[in-house]
């Protein structure tokens, strides 16, 4: 699921979570690193196409891990730009 908001926030969730907002926010959490309670909420919101709920979850994740973070396997290339 992909959600874009008028303030520039973008959230992509398809097993992995990617939250961006210009140069200010860049958070990537690979599938196996998303805590089960967060994954449950993401799956629920995604199944309902609820971008409002996706935003709340993305903001909670960003507030917890910071504005620049990457959680992925060591051999993953996902974190090369962080």
The pLDDT score that the predictor gives to residue 47 is 97
pLDDT in tens, 53-80: 999 999 999 999 999 999 998 877 888 7
Q: Give me the pLDDT at residue 71, please.
A: 94
Average pLDDT value for the chain: 94
Please report the pLDDT score of residue 1 as a whole number: 95
- Cβ within 8 Å of residue 16, ≥6 positions away: 28, 29, 30, 31, 34, 78
Distances (CA, A) of 55 to 45, 70, 76, 77, 80: 10, 18, 26, 25, 25
In the numeric block, the tokens 């926010």 are attached to: 25
pLDDT bracket for residue 35 (50, 70, 90): very high
| pTM, full prediction | 0.91
């Amino acid at each position: 699921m992909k959600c874009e908001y008028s303030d520039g926030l973008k959230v992509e969730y398809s097993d992995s979570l990617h939250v961006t907002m210009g140069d200010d926010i860049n958070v990537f959490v690979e599938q196996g690193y998303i805590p089960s309670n967060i994954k449950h909420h993401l799956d629920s919101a995604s199944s309902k196409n609820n971008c409002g709920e996706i935003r709340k979850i993305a903001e909670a994740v960003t507030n917890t891990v910071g504005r620049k973070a990457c959680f992925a396997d060591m051999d993953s290339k996902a974190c090369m730009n962080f």
